[in-house]
Chain A
Amino acid sequence: MSLMHPDDYDIHAVREEWVGKLISEARGRYPVEFDAIRRHCHMVGDLNPAFLDPQVAAEGPYGAVIVPPSMLPTYFASEGPWPPTQSAGTDPENAAVFSFGVPTPGDRGINMEVQWEFLAPVRVGDQLRLELRIADVFKKPIKLDPDAIWIITETTFFNQHSDEVAKWRNTMLIHRSPEQVARDAERSVQAGEGA
């Protein structure tokens, strides 16, 4: 990823190119698995047998273990956490994963707002895919970085029957580190002195 100096950054050109763009049509490498659900439940101390116990879940309203609605289906629906790929968002060497490829002055990402709509249960064994689009890109300063970029994405998840199972709207903030901000400011000063 090549970072852009804020003076060279044209938000209008970026919006023109990226807003509405289909970024990913990733298909899950693996079907939905028990153990990933267990790790998710373990993370938050969730003991609900609907997510953990195949025998109990078989007699429940969904007839099988389902994914907790809060479990990011991204884990299943992206190309898997390994080997790292840009669309899986697992490569720390490739900071563009936070910006979905949208050029930004910074390479540090923070998630700001999440909206989920859960449309149908996802069961163990289901095979998911997703379609991710850039819904909006805009510049809005934060305390850390006056040239922070905000990226809104909309993702729809489908099962193997092409039924929509979830929709996800996400707002990501991309900012520069304090060191990057200082370095960019130094270049701006030098450019001003040379003018």
Chain B
Amino acid sequence: MNEQELRNLVGQVKAGRMSRRQFVQRMVAIGLTAPMAGMMLHQSGVAQAATAVPYKPPKAGGGGVLKLLFWQAPTLLNPHFAIGTKDQEASRLFYEPLAGWDRDGNLVPILAEEIPSKDNDGLKEDGLSVVWKLKKGVKWHDGVPFTADDVIFNWEYSNNPQTAAASIGSYKDVKAIEKLDDHTVRMVFAQPTPFWANAFVASYGLIIPKHLFADYAGDKSRDAPANLKPVGTGPYMFVDFRPGDSVAAKRNPGYHQEGRPYFDTVELKGGGDAVSAARAVLQTGEYDYAYNIQVEDEILQKLEAGGQGKASLSVCGNIEHIQLNVTDPSVEVDGERASVKTKHPLFSDPAVREAMNLLIDRDSVQKFIYGRAGVATPNFLNNPEQFRSKNNKYEFSIEKANQVLEAAGWKKGSDGIRAKDGKQLKLVFQTSINSPRQKNQAVIKQACQKAGIDVELKSVVASVFFSSDTANPDTYSHFYCDMQMYQTTMPQADPQFFMNQFTSGEVASKANKWQGRNITRWQSKEYDDVYHQAEKELDPVKRAALFIKLNDLVVADRYILPEINRKLAIGVKNGMVLHESGWDNDLWQIANWYRDV
């Protein structure tokens, strides 16, 4: 899909011939995130539907206890230090951002009065600044008013490397923040920034109070008492926190949204394992919500038969994919294996890559391994039908794979393994230890065997595989083998960070201690050029077209073989109404959760 086609679609929405939701669904289908699609409409002047979050209870309170179960326990309650989503979710009870993302990619104001747009002079043509208007009359839990100073402080706090904040990625590109008045700030960027809804928005944008943290910015960040006793603007107030175990909260009577929240107290319990967490919600109904239940669908269905709750799945950008190594892991150049100076002896032949793509039985993997929790995908281009690119169709055919290899001169030897010029088709295939992945590996190995490719399977403990340990050769970023499989997550609503993983500058190597994000070490001049163009492109529609092109470039070369688009699963007790997003934390609308009786 090119820029012109995108423009036509936007035009259709503008003219009312196509609904917002349809548009967003199409954009998600071609690999863009819902927030990105939302931004396209927003900046093209299509008025954002007043996103009303449904909420029935007549008044605040009266809902009793809300019980949340996290099998990974939150360990800290300062959102700037959050290591994983577990910490962000727990912080969400107390802290709020200026705005969050809903499931259709709309920005929903939370602490902001309104979403900046060209109409309200929030956005400028040059993309260098954004004006946020803050909601008036918001008070911190201790009664101090929330003002522009708090917003500015959060940027200073996070942007200071000595603070060691995990949220720094969202704030480091902001050059300055000016206070226009007590409830208006102007964010100024160093360079034109198409994706401005990053700082102060969603999971990394939660705002902490200046009056409690001002003395603890930088080096002393760890000593702040409020790290463990949060005082926020959120719907619930702090009662008790035991790191790695539980959080207790009570209703904030002075909450800034009228008639909310519904529940009187919140009990958040952490620890244990995903299966029993799912059981406590779906089968026994002891809890109202269970976080991220990564459990095989077969087990979920059995638990759901208990009749107390349902698993709820939401679409996100997480892609389970297989990488073929561009470089040769068996040769050492300058003390470094898999150096970019080498070429993989087998995969440098496009026919072998093509055959590998034909040997992945994506349909069976979806049907028998992931069930509801994943959708088979040939690449990022999926449904609807008319948008499925011809070159990107996926197919499983051992016969075709054999033909492709035969035609390229890979002949079967006496041991049944194909070879050419003395090189045998023998591969090592690694992944992290995780039951669906091992089954998936076996499915691929079997198909390869039938095509005369010998695959040796290797599984590495997840904590090692995903570690940033420079000395360990088994991490995914070293990629010292021929193939590997894992899931890339997309914690950011915008694909810019996500897509930099195929740029030449990001190649993981000894020089950058394997911290680079381009793990296959796939390099393409054209990709780099288009990427840099996209980085600067301010027109959201043109930018979207560029990202689609980037996707196609990667996929067409067959070094990256997308397999399953995984979904986020949570457990929800019957009657609970919560507003999942997929692009923001599960608890992003905790103020509007209620029990429908």
Are A and B subunits of one complex? no
A positions within 8 Å CB-CB of B: none
